[in-house]
Amino acid sequence: MNEYQTSASQYDLFKATGNYNTVAFVEKVLGLVGEAGETADKIKKILRDKDGVIDEHDKVEVTKELGDVLWYVASIARYLDVPLEDVAKMNLEKLESRNKRNLLHGEGDNR
């Protein structure tokens, strides 16, 4: 994951790192929201227009959008000087902890 993060950084048009108080950083946050929306829109249209049946073309198109989401996640983490591997590990640790405590359902970021 860290190799991906490093490789992905070459496509940051701002060529900036390590400073989250910049237009470049905000552009990444807005980009993440935009790409998440594009992913949701693709799924919405599959549900609306194709009775929810996902064919191979749809899978490719949704996968492309997920890649765009991943790029922005990796970029935001890079601006925060956080390895992408740490993002993934912390997420799994959080989910494992919740699962052990039977708290996968419910609300609250830090349950």
| Residues at the site binding Mg ion, with contacts judged by CB under 5 A | 35, 38, 65, 68
Nearer to Mg ion (CB atom), residue 62 or residue 88: 62
Q: Is the dihedral of CA 56, 39, 92, 101 positive or negative?
A: negative
Distance in Å, CB of 92 to Mg ion, minimum: 26
**How far is it, in rounded angstroms, from Cα 111 to Cα 47?**
32
Complex with Mg ion: residue 18 or 34, whichever CB lies closer: 34
Rounded to the nearest whole angstrom, what is the least distance from the CB of residue 23 to Mg ion in the complex?
21
**How far, CA to CA in Å, does 19 sit from each of 16, 90, 106?**
7, 22, 35
Q: How far is the CB of 30 from Mg ion (least distance, A)?
A: 13
Q: Which residue in the shown chain puts its C-beta closest to Mg ion?
A: 68
Q: What is the rounded radius of gyration, in angstroms, for the C-alpha atoms of the chain?
A: 17
Nearest approach in angstroms of CB 39 to Mg ion is: 8
Q: Residue with structure tokens 């996902």? A: 54
Please, are residues 111 and 103 in contact by the beta-carbon 8 Å criterion? yes
Instruction: Specify the residue, 32 or 77, whose C-beta has the smaller distance to Mg ion.
Output: 32
Cβ closer to Mg ion: 33 or 92? 33
